[in-house]
């Protein structure tokens, strides 16, 4: 009792946390932590003890299993020692268990004995016994499949042969035999003699993905061996069954096989398809569908590391290379650091790629045409083929070239196989298409967009994308008269599609960011990706159609202008121009894909918030500039230049000096200014002229002499054959930097590039590299001069060819904000076949005639893929394509010939010169500024177009000094100007301002303003001018006839600054 009392009292005074009423006690060296912590530690200790017990139990179980396995192994060996190997049932029981344990020679002896039993007709064989024996042998093969010794290989071969013999028996039901396991085991040893035959025999009809694994290896000897042994038919049937399995199990195929495995599988099919003995490899709907899925599952594009791909791989119009290249294990790898993710293809794989892109696609097109399969089947195959050839974000020239060639083949095929109408009908059947035609406001609601992203909508988006790709290519290849020809949309459907396209582009630009944010968690990511692909391509195609409509005028002007319902505000763009220019100063800041993405939520420009309406307006200017009136864009352009001037020009800076002889303006100017920096050439120049007597002309350059210098350089460099100044043309014979079209429009002289091109094709040809570089440096300087003229708002009397101006807006992928946009290639403006008409109308007409000739007429012309050009005083043939001199023009490839000729003339022959010219131009004028205009508008920007001098506009913006508006001499002056011819009006303006053109936006833009000062009552004196300040010094004749006579004399004198 006393003990119990003591224990109770102790319990009241202490607890096991070590706490007492009077003092702290630490029992067992425990910390004085919280009760929760102590409980957690106790739980952890219990867990450790429990885990230890489980590990001990597991160890005991494993040891027991090992002992039991060893005992069974021992008993099996002891029993098998007593087994004579001749009894079938004993064989079935023992063999599969001891085949790895006993000597291989013993196993071979047992197989020999059992084979005698198989052929023993007296033995009581039943179907079940046969099948059980076959499964026993298959299990044994699976166990020893990795044996690579000579005797092990013999063992596998003997067992496989017995399985084949058993399965040949009529009473055997193959469904009861483990043939899948047998095939898998054989695939591991497919190089063994006879194994491939067995694989094909029992695997060709298997519609499972397991068999696909066999063909994902990059080694194709087995295919070549199969063809040589007349087993190609079985292999073809095998591939067909595999493709059926891929169709049924697409998701599993994507998950279980890597891109490299799928690529190897693709190459092996192509090899089989074009192997010599596989001529009966027929393409049907199942094959095309399975192949399309195979292509579609390749998430990577192809990367070609060599620049000389087309020297090794002939394009589609050639006979093609033979498939003798061998592929090694390490030839196909994923390229690191390349965007998008791509598969590297080495040079010896090019024949396979050539067959895939340049021959196989044509076969598929023919099959679809013969079966009239112009819908989903055709779309799925070619959409996947183009994505593999050139992924959306790829900008590699080779990939773009392959893609262009595929589309070219499709355009050719469309003339006889009208699949475009079928695709258009598919597009029209969708509610989204019809709603877009009539509903085009940002407030149309998210449900409007959701209707376009249903579970089955991927096919519709892919159809739209491929339709746009083909029509974009068609825009480049066709002439205006062929736009509604065979295989094209008729005029009504064409105009309907253009209306849809315009509205869709507006919706995308105004709503793309908010819609993407709304849909990204509601629709399949693959469908959303397809929409974005279509959206970017739509912007490019709409720009092409707009450019063509400038010639064809199918739509009225209001159709192309942004109406007020979209809230576009011209004035709202100006506040952010300074911000844009501030960030343009450092070009590296805008070199990546960091611009305003169409689908990125937010309203930030260069990290600064702007209101949504301002953001929309910026996006319109960036992506749809042609929907804003030209005058507005021109004002934005000049505002950007003014902002740039505030950064590079300081009134306290020293001017850039230069002394130029009037008798040698071009070369002197090049020597003085050709090598100055962009910043120095943008600054105000200090020009001095040397007259014909070697004396400096009087005058200080306040801007007028600079303008006179610029116009004089241009007069000397850009000389037309019909120029009235024969002397100038003769003086310029050593400087043929530019040539003229039949319409007297300038483009770079192709001769320097042709010398290089011909030299690369003919080893005996030589050219002077030093002389070539001098010409190119001068062309670069002329680019600087044109840029300076635009920068100073000096309109010049030079008209450039549209195909050359197209390069001004396409040589840089930068948009208005200065960013290289994602999928920038889609925004590029290339030359079309119709542009050839502006180059040489006779050549254009002759090429059109080729399309109407019969095969015999073409054959009589004996044309090849070459073109005759004058090079260094001689006429030489230049290949249009690699090996072009050996490729004859036929009815099948004449469209490719026409396209190649146009591309050569408009692009290749002037590419190098254009690059140098644009380098000089972009030193002064930022390329993103030019993105606001098309080629026709650039002509206005440079020279004011063909617009006549507006005398009424001049009268409204004139500044008088010593005269009043109602003075007789001023009245007479404007009456005379109104009576002047167009040429004399231009001469008058040039006499006063040094430029024959009025400012683009009118005389209000002239700085200083156009002035007329009273020069007194000296009626015998001539009118003079100070071009540096745009001032006419006019005596107060007070006689209209005298004023006319004196004024005409002055403006026709072509005197220099000394006349003032």
- pLDDT at 443 exceeding the cut of 60: no
Are the C-beta atoms of residues 302 and 345 closer than 8 Å to each other?
Answer: yes
SS3 619: helix
Element (H, E) at 1034: strand 1031-1034
Q: What is the pLDDT of residue 747?
A: 92
- pLDDT at 883 exceeding the cut of 50: yes
Are the C-beta atoms of residues 764 and 689 closer than 8 Å to each other?
Answer: no
How far is 673 from 678, CA to CA, in rounded Å?
10
- pLDDT at 169 exceeding the cut of 90: no
- pLDDT at 456 exceeding the cut of 80: no
pLDDT band, very low/low/confident/very high, at 63 (cuts 50, 70, 90) = confident
How far is 963 from 1014, CA to CA, in rounded Å?
6
- Residue 1022: Cβ within 10 Å count: 17
Q: What is the pLDDT of residue 277?
A: 52
Establish how many alpha carbons lie within 13 A of residue 605's alpha carbon, considering only the half-sphere containing its beta carbon.
25
How far is 790 from 863, CA to CA, in rounded Å?
44
1014 bridge partner residues: 1034
- pLDDT at 235 exceeding the cut of 80: no
Q: At what angle do helices 458-477 and 397-414 cross, to 10 degrees?
A: 90
Question: Which carries the bigger pLDDT value, residue 183 or residue 939?
Answer: 939
SS3 1011: strand
- pLDDT at 2 exceeding the cut of 50: no
- Residue 1028: active-site member: yes
Are the C-beta atoms of residues 443 and 512 closer than 8 Å to each other?
Answer: no
Q: What is the pLDDT of residue 713?
A: 92
Element (H, E) at 740: strand 738-740
Are the C-beta atoms of residues 810 and 728 closer than 8 Å to each other?
Answer: no
Q: What is the pLDDT of residue 299?
A: 74
- pLDDT at 924 exceeding the cut of 90: yes
Are the C-beta atoms of residues 217 and 265 closer than 8 Å to each other?
Answer: no
Question: Which carries the bigger pLDDT value, residue 702 or residue 590?
Answer: 702
How far is 299 from 988, CA to CA, in rounded Å?
65
Question: Which carries the bigger pLDDT value, residue 97 or residue 979?
Answer: 979
How far is 478 from 466, CA to CA, in rounded Å?
18
- pLDDT at 442 exceeding the cut of 50: no
**Span 362-366, mean pLDDT?**
88
Strand 1024-1026 relative to strand 1031-1034: parallel, antiparallel, unpaired?
antiparallel
Average pLDDT value for the chain: 78
Are the C-beta atoms of residues 420 and 487 closer than 8 Å to each other?
Answer: yes
- pLDDT at 723 exceeding the cut of 70: no
- Cα distances from 248 to residues 215, 254, 378, 462, in angstroms, run 18, 12, 19, 21
pLDDT digits (tens, 9 = 90+) for 794-816: 888 888 998 999 888 876 556 67
* DSSP assignment letter at 358: I
How far is 494 from 898, CA to CA, in rounded Å?
25
Contacts of 405 (CB under 8 A, 6+ apart): 315, 316, 357, 358
Domain ranges of the chain: 91-203, 209-417, 418-560, 833-906, 951-1059
CATH architecture of 833-906: 2-Layer Sandwich (3.30)
- pLDDT at 339 exceeding the cut of 70: no
- pLDDT at 238 exceeding the cut of 60: yes
Over 951-982, what HEC string results? Answer: HHHHHHCCEEECCCCCCHHHHHHHHHHHHCCH
Q: What is the pLDDT of residue 781?
A: 95
Q: What is the pLDDT of residue 337?
A: 46
Handedness of CA 732, 733, 739, 743 (dihedral sign): positive
Q: What is the pLDDT of residue 603?
A: 57
Q: Where are the beta strands (DSSP E) in 892-1010?
A: 959-961
Q: What is the pLDDT of residue 499?
A: 93
Question: Which carries the bigger pLDDT value, residue 734 or residue 22?
Answer: 734
How far is 97 from 274, CA to CA, in rounded Å?
46
Q: At what angle do helices 894-906 and 397-414 cross, to 10 degrees?
A: 140
Q: Which long-range contacts (CB under 8 A, 24 or more apart) does 189-197 make?
A: 189/145, 189/153, 189/156, 190/214, 190/222, 191/221, 191/222, 192/153, 192/156, 192/157, 193/157, 194/157, 194/160, 194/161, 195/157, 195/160, 196/222, 196/225, 196/226, 196/231, 197/229, 197/231
SS3 876: strand
The fold adopted by the segment(s) 951-1059 is Hect, E3 ligase catalytic fold (3.30.2410)
How far is 144 from 701, CA to CA, in rounded Å?
96
How far is 508 from 434, CA to CA, in rounded Å?
16
- pLDDT at 17 exceeding the cut of 50: no
Which of 720, 690, 908, 876 is closest to 797 using CA atoms? Answer: 720
Q: What is the pLDDT of residue 512?
A: 74
How far is 593 from 916, CA to CA, in rounded Å?
26
What's the first-to-final CA gap in the chain, in angstroms? 137
pLDDT band, very low/low/confident/very high, at 672 (cuts 50, 70, 90) = very high
Length of the chain: 1060
Q: How far is CA 307 from the centre of its chain?
A: 17
pTM reported for the whole predicted model: 0.75
Strand 738-740 relative to strand 866-871: parallel, antiparallel, unpaired?
unpaired
Q: At what angle do helices 221-228 and 259-273 cross, to 10 degrees?
A: 20
Token pair in block for residue 284:
């049907």
Select, from the ranges 101-105, 435-439, 907-911, the one with the highest average predicted confidence (pLDDT).
907-911
pLDDT band, very low/low/confident/very high, at 791 (cuts 50, 70, 90) = very high
Are the C-beta atoms of residues 898 and 412 closer than 8 Å to each other?
Answer: no
Q: What is the pLDDT of residue 181?
A: 82
Q: What is the pLDDT of residue 15?
A: 44
Asked if residue 1008 has a cis previous peptide bond (ω within 30° of 0), the answer is: yes
- pLDDT at 944 exceeding the cut of 50: yes
How far is 578 from 793, CA to CA, in rounded Å?
20
SS3 779: helix
How many helices (H) and strands (E) the chain has is answered by 45, 15
Q: At what angle do helices 397-414 and 376-389 cross, to 10 degrees?
A: 160
Q: How far is CA 680 from the centre of its chain?
A: 37
- pLDDT at 900 exceeding the cut of 80: yes
pLDDT band, very low/low/confident/very high, at 583 (cuts 50, 70, 90) = low
Are the C-beta atoms of residues 617 and 533 closer than 8 Å to each other?
Answer: no
DSSP output for 756-811 = HHHHHH-TT----HHHHHHHHHHHHHHHHHHHHHHHTT---S--B-HHHHHHHHHS
Q: How far is CA 181 from the centre of its chain?
A: 46
How far is 300 from 355, CA to CA, in rounded Å?
19
**Span 760-777, mean pLDDT?**
72
Q: What is the pLDDT of residue 466?
A: 95
Are the C-beta atoms of residues 498 and 560 closer than 8 Å to each other?
Answer: no
Over 59-108, what HEC string results? Answer: HHHHHHHHHHHHHHHHHHHHHHHHCCCCCHHHHHHHHHHHCCCCCHHHHH
How far is 76 from 97, CA to CA, in rounded Å?
8
Question: Which carries the bigger pLDDT value, residue 281 or residue 950?
Answer: 950
How far is 923 from 920, CA to CA, in rounded Å?
5
How far is 823 from 392, CA to CA, in rounded Å?
6
Burial of 832 (0-12, 13-18, 19+ CB in 10 A): buried
How far is 777 from 135, CA to CA, in rounded Å?
81
* DSSP assignment letter at 343: E
Which of 963, 971, 831 is closest to 903 using CA atoms? Answer: 831
**Span 767-786, mean pLDDT?**
86
Are the C-beta atoms of residues 561 and 629 closer than 8 Å to each other?
Answer: yes
């Amino acid at each position: 009792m006393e003990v119990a009392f003591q224990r109770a009292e102790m319990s009241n005074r202490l607890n096991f946390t070590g706490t007492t009423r009077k003092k702290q006690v630490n029992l067992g060296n425990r910390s004085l932590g919280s009760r929760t912590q102590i409980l957690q530690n106790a739980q952890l200790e219990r867990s450790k003890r429990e885990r230890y017990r489980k590990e001990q139990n597991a160890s005991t179980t494993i040891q027991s299993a090992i002992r039991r396995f060893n005992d069974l192994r021992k008993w099996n060996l002891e029993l098998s020692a007593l087994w004579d190997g001749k009894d079938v049932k004993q064989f079935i029981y023992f063999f599969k268990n001891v085949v790895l344990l006993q000597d291989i020679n013993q196993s071979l002896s047992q197989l020999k004995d059992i084979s005698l039993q198989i052929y023993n007709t007296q033995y009581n064989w039943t179907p079940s016994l046969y099948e059980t024996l076959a499964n026993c042998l298959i299990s044994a093969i699976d166990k020893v499949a990795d044996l690579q010794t000579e005797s092990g290989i013999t063992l596998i071969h003997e067992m496989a042969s017995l399985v084949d013999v058993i399965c040949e028996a009529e009473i055997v039901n193959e469904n009861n035999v483990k043939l899948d396991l047998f095939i898998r085991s054989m695939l591991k040893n497919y190089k063994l003699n006879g194994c491939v035959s067995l694989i094909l025999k029992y695997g060709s009809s298997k519609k499972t993905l397991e068999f696909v694994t066999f063909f994902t290896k990059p080694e194709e000897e087995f295919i070549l061996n199969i063809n040589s042994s007349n087993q190609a038919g079985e292999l073809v049937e095998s591939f067909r069954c595999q493709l059926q399995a891929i169709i049924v199990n697409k998701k599993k195929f994507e998950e279980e096989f890597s891109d490299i495995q799928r690529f190897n599988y693709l190459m092996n099919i192509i090899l089989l398809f074009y192997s010599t003995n596989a001529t009966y490899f027929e393409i049907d709907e199942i094959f095309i569908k399975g192949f399309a899925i195979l292509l579609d599952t390749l998430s990577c594009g192809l990367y070609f590391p060599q620049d000389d791909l087309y020297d090794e791989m002939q394009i589609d119009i050639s006979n093609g290379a033979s498939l003798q290249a061998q592929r090694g294990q390490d030839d196909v790898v994923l390229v690191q650091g390349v965007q998008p993710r791509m598969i590297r293809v080495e040079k010896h794989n090019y024949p396979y790629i050539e067959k895939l892109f340049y021959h196989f696609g044509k076969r598929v097109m023919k099959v679809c045409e013969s079966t009239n399969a112009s819908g989903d089947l055709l779309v799925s195959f070619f959409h996947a083929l183009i994505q593999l050839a050139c992924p959306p974000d790829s900008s590699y020239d080779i990939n773009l070239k392959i893609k262009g060639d595929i589309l070219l083949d499709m355009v050719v095929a469309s003339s006889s196989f009208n699949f475009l109408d079928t695709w258009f009908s598919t597009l029209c059947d969708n509610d989204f298409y019809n709603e877009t035609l009539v509903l085009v406001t940002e407030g149309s609601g998210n449900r409007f967009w959701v209707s376009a992203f249903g579970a089955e909508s991927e096919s519709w988006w892919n159809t739209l994308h491929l339709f746009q790709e083909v029509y974009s290519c068609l825009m480049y290849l066709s002439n205006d008269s062929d736009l509604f020809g065979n295989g094209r949309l008729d005029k009504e459907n064409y105009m309907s599609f253009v209306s849809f396209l315009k509205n869709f582009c507006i919706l995308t630009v105004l709503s793309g960011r908010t819609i993407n944010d709304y849909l990204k968690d509601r629709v399949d990511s693959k469908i959303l990706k397809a929409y974005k692909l279509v959206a970017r391509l739509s912007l490019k195609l709409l720009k092409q159609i707009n450019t063509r409509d400038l010639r064809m005028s199918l739509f009225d002007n209001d159709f192309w202008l942004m109406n007020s319902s979209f809230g576009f505000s011209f004035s709202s763009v100006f506040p952010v121009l300074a911000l844009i220019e501030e960030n343009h100063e450092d070009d590296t800041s805008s070199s990546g894909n960091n611009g305003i993405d169409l689908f990125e939520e937010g309203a930030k420009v260069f990290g600064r918030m702007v209101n949504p309406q301002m953001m929309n307006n910026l996006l319109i200017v960036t992506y749809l500039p042609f929907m804003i009136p030209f005058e507005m864009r021109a004002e934005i352009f000049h505002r950007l230049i003014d902002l740039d001037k505030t950064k590079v020009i300081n009134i306290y800076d020293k001017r850039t000096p230069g002394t130029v002889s009037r008798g040698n303006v071009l070369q002197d100017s090049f020597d003085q200014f050709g090598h100055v920096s962009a910043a120095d050439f943008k600054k105000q120049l200090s020009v001095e002229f040397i007259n014909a007597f070697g004396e400096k002309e009087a005058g200080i350059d306040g801007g007028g002499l600079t303008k006179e210098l610029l116009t004089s350089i241009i007069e000397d460099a850009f000389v037309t054959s019909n120029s009235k100044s024969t002397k100038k043309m003769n003086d310029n014979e050593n400087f043929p930097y530019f040539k003229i079209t039949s319409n007297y429009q300038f483009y770079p002289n192709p001769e320097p590039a042709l010398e290089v091109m011909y030299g690369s094709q003919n080893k005996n040809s030589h050219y002077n590299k030093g002389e070539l570089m001098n010409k190119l440096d001068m062309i670069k300087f002329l680019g600087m001069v044109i840029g300076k003229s635009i920068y100073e708002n000096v309109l010049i009397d030079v008209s450039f060819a549209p195909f050359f101006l197209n390069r001004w807006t396409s040589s840089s992928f930068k948009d208005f904000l200065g960013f290289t946009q994602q999928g920038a290639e889609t925004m590029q403006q290339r030359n079309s076949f119709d542009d050839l008409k502006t180059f040489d109308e006779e050549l254009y007409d002759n090429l059109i005639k080729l399309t109407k000739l019969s095969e015999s007429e073409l054959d009589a012309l004996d044309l090849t893929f070459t073109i005759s050009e004058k090079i260094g005083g001689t006429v030489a043939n230049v290949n249009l394509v690699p090996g072009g001199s050996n490729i004859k023009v036929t009815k099948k490839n004449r469209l490719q010939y026409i396209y190649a000729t146009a591309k050569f003339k408009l692009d290749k022959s002037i590419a190098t010169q254009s690059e140098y010219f644009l380098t000089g131009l972009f030193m002064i004028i930022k390329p993103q500024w030019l993105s606001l205009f098309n080629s026709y508008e650039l002509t206005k920007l440079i020279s004011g177009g063909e617009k006549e001098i507006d005398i009424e506009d001049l009268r409204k913006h004139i500044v008088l000094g010593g005269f009043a508006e109602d003075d007789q001499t001023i009245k007479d002056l404007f009456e005379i100007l109104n009576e002047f011819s167009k040429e004399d009006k231009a001469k008058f303006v040039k006499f006063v301002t040094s430029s024959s053109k009025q400012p683009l936006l009118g005389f209000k833009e002239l700085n200083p303003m156009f002035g007329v000062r009273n020069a007194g009552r000296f009626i015998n004196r001539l009118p003079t001018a100070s071009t540096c300040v745009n001032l006419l010094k006019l005596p107060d004749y007070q006689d209209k006839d005298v004023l006319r006579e004196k004024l005409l004399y002055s403006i026709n004198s072509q005197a220099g600054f000394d006349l003032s």
